[in-house]
C-alpha cells in the first residue's frame, strides 16, 4: 500500500480512537496513552527531529555553494522575505477582519475572574537580528538555533563556492551527507503511520472537549480564517504567481501537511516538507533548502491568524474597543514577533502575549483560549508549512524565468 494512504489511515484511526476513548473510557485512555500512544508519538518525533539540524545544515550549505553568486543569493533572499512578510500581514488581516465581523468574544459567557496565565519572555526583535550571526556555530547546531544555523551554512556554502576545486572534497562530503540524510527521511517515514496514530490519539484523547463548546465560535473563526488563507491566498499565489495548478500543489505537499498537523511543529516537519517540495513539487534543492528552513522560523501565517482572532476575541471579552491605530499595531507586532521564534508546538501563545502587551490587553486573557489551543496548533502548523512551500514554488518558478533570460543575455 502507498505510504501516504497508510499515513492517512493512521491519522483517521488516531482521531477515532482518541475520540472514543475520551468519551467512553478516560481511564483506559490514560493507560493506553502512557504505554502506547505517547511512546509511539515520541519515538516518531525524536526520529524526525534527529534529522532536522543535519538536513538544514547540509542542504543550505550545498544550496549556497551551488548558487555561488551572492547577487543571485540575495535576490532569492529578498523575494523570499518580501513574500513571507506580505503573506503574514494578509493572514493577520484576515484573522482580524473575520473576528471583528463575527465577534466571537461578544457572544456567550466567559469567566475572566480566575483567568491566570504567566507569559514566557519572547526575544525582542532587535536581539534576534543581532543574534543571527553565531558566536559559536557548534553551539548553534547543538541547540538547534535555526537562524544561526542558516547564517553559518550560508557562509560555509559561499566559501566552498569561492574556493572551487580547493574545497572540492568538502563539497563532496556535504553532497553525500545530504543524500544520506534524505535517504534517512525516507526510512524514518516508514514509521510515520504509527507515529501519526500515536501523536493524534494522544492529542485528541487528552482534550477537555467541554472547553470546546464554550469556545465554539472562536474555534470557528480561527478555522474559517485558516481555510481562507490555505485555499484562497495560497491557491491564488501558486496559480497566479507561479502559474502552477493549485490542486497538484496541495496534492504534492499533502504528506508534509499531515506531519505538520500531527507534530504541531514546523521545525520537526522540515525533513518531510523539504522532501515533498523537492520530489513532488519539483522545487530545486537549492531553493527549497533555503526557503523552507527560513520559513519554518520566520513565516507563520497560521499562527498570525490565531493571533489576530485571539487579540480581537480577548479585547471583546474584556470590553475593550480596539482603535484603528491599535489594530495596525497588532498587525505590525504580529508580523515582527514571528521572525525570532522557532516553529515548535505552542510558540504561538508566547507570540500572542507579545501582541497583547503591545496594545495593553490583559495577557491573562490567554487562559481563556489555552484549553483549545493544542488542537488549533495542529491546524495552524499545517497552514504555516504550506505557506513556506507555496513560497518555495513561487521563488523557484520566478528563478526559472530568470535563468534562460540571463543565459540568452
Q: Using CB under 6 A as the criterion, which residues of the chain lie in contact with ligand ASP when the complex forms?
A: 264-266, 300, 303, 343-348, 377, 380-381, 384
Cβ of residue 229: shortest distance to ligand ASP, in angstroms? 13
Write the DSSP string, 113-147: TT---PPPPPPPHHHHHHTTS-S-HHHHHHHT-HH
User: 62 or 347: whose CB is closer to ligand ASP?
Assistant: 347
Cβ of residue 84: shortest distance to ligand ASP, in angstroms? 13
Query: Helix H segments across 231-281?
Result: 234-236, 246-263, 266-279
User: 21 or 383: whose CB is closer to ligand ASP?
Assistant: 383
Cβ of residue 44: shortest distance to ligand ASP, in angstroms? 16
User: 73 or 146: whose CB is closer to ligand ASP?
Assistant: 146
Q: Identify whether the C-beta of residue 133 lies closer than 8 Å to the C-beta of residue 148.
A: yes
Give the burial class of 77: count Cβ atoms within 10 A of its Cβ; 0-12 exposed, 13-18 middle, 19 or more buried.
middle
CA–CA gap between residue 76 and residue 68 (Å, rounded) = 12
Enclosing H/E stretch for 212: helix 209-214
User: 344 or 394: whose CB is closer to ligand ASP?
Assistant: 344
Cβ of residue 338: shortest distance to ligand ASP, in angstroms? 9
Q: Identify whether the C-beta of residue 122 lies closer than 8 Å to the C-beta of residue 350.
A: yes
User: 330 or 344: whose CB is closer to ligand ASP?
Assistant: 344
Cβ of residue 194: shortest distance to ligand ASP, in angstroms? 22
Q: Which residues are within 8 A (CB) of 76 and not within 5 positions of it... i.e. 6 or more apart?
A: 67, 287, 290, 291, 395, 399
Other C-beta atoms closer than 10 Å to the C-beta of 14 total: 27
CA atoms 214, 217, 220, 221: torsion sign: negative
Cβ of residue 406: shortest distance to ligand ASP, in angstroms? 35
Helix, strand, coil percent values for the chain (each to nearest 5): 85, 0, 15
User: 178 or 266: whose CB is closer to ligand ASP?
Assistant: 266
Other C-beta atoms closer than 10 Å to the C-beta of 243 total: 10
Cβ of residue 266: shortest distance to ligand ASP, in angstroms? 3
Cβ of residue 11: shortest distance to ligand ASP, in angstroms? 17
User: 41 or 348: whose CB is closer to ligand ASP?
Assistant: 348
User: 66 or 343: whose CB is closer to ligand ASP?
Assistant: 343
Cβ of residue 267: shortest distance to ligand ASP, in angstroms? 6
Cβ of residue 120: shortest distance to ligand ASP, in angstroms? 12
Nearest residue to 339 (alpha-carbon basis) of 278, 383, 295, 305 = 295
Nearest residue to ligand ASP on Cβ basis: 348
Helix 366-408 to helix 216-228 angle (10° resolution) is 0
CA–CA gap between residue 373 and residue 71 (Å, rounded) = 42
User: 32 or 305: whose CB is closer to ligand ASP?
Assistant: 305
Buried/exposed code over 171-195 (b: 16+ C-beta within 10 A; e: otherwise): beebeebbeebbebbeebbeebbbb
Q: The C-alpha cell of 86 is what?
A: 506580505
User: 65 or 378: whose CB is closer to ligand ASP?
Assistant: 378
Amino acid at each position: 500500500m502507498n505510504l501516504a494512504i497508510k499515513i492517512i489511515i493512521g491519522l483517521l484511526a488516531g482521531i477515532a480512537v482518541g475520540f472514543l476513548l475520551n468519551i467512553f473510557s478516560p481511564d483506559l485512555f490514560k493507560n493506553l496513552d502512557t504505554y502506547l500512544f505517547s511512546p509511539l508519538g515520541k519515538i516518531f518525533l525524536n526520529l524526525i527531529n534527529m534529522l532536522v539540524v543535519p538536513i538544514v545544515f547540509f542542504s543550505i550549505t550545498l544550496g549556497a555553494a551551488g548558487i555561488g553568486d551572492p547577487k543571485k543569493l540575495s535576490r532569492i533572499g529578498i523575494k523570499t522575505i518580501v513574500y513571507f512578510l506580505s503573506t503574514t500581514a494578509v493572514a493577520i488581516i484576515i484573522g482580524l477582519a473575520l473576528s471583528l465581523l463575527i465577534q466571537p468574544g461578544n457572544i456567550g459567557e466567559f469567566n475572566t475572574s480566575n483567568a491566570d496565565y504567566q507569559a514566557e519572555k519572547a526575544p525582542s526583535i532587535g536581539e534576534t537580528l543581532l543574534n543571527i550571526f553565531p558566536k559559536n556555530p557548534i553551539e548553534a547546531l547543538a541547540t538547534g538555533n535555526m537562524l544561526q544555523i542558516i547564517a553559518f551554512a550560508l557562509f560555509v556554502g559561499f566559501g566552498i563556492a569561492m574556493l572551487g576545486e580547493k574545497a572540492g572534497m568538502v563539497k563532496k562530503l556535504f553532497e553525500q551527507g545530504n543524500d544520506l540524510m534524505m535517504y534517512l527521511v525516507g526510512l524514518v517515514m516508514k514509521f510515520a503511520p504509527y507515529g501519526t496514530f500515536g501523536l493524534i490519539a494522544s492529542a485528541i484523547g487528552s482534550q477537555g472537549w467541554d472547553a470546546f463548546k464554550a469556545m465554539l465560535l472562536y474555534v470557528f473563526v480561527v478555522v474559517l480564517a485558516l481555510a481562507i488563507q490555505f485555499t484562497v491566498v495560497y491557491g491564488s499565489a501558486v496559480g497566479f504567481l507561479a502559474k502552477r495548478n493549485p490542486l497538484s500543489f496541495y496534492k504534492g505537499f499533502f504528506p508534509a501537511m499531515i506531519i505538520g498537523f500531527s507534530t504541531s511543529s514546523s521545525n520537526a516537519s522540515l525533513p518531510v516538507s523539504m522532501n515533498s517540495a523537492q520530489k513532488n513539487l519539483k522545487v530545486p534543492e537549492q531553493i527549497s533548502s533555503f526557503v523552507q528552513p527560513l520559513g519554518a522560523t520566520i513565516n507563520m501565517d497560521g499562527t498570525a491568524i490565531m493571533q489576530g482572532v485571539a487579540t480581537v476575541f480577548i479585547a471583546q471579552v474584556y470590553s475593550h474597543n480596539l482603535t484603528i491605530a491599535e489594530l495596525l499595531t497588532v498587525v505590525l507586532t504580529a508580523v515582527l514577533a514571528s521572525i525570532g521564534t522557532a516553529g515548535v508546538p505552542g510558540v504561538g501563545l508566547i507570540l500572542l502575549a507579545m501582541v497583547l502587551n503591545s496594545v495593553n490587553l490583559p495577557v491573562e486573557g490567554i487562559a481563556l483560549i489555552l484549553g483549545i489551543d493544542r488542537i488549533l496548533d495542529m491546524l495552524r502548523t499545517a497552514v504555516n508549512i504550506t505557506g513556506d512551500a507555496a513560497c518555495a514554488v513561487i521563488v523557484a518558478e520566478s528563478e526559472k524565468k530568470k535563468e534562460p533570460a540571463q543565459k540568452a543575455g
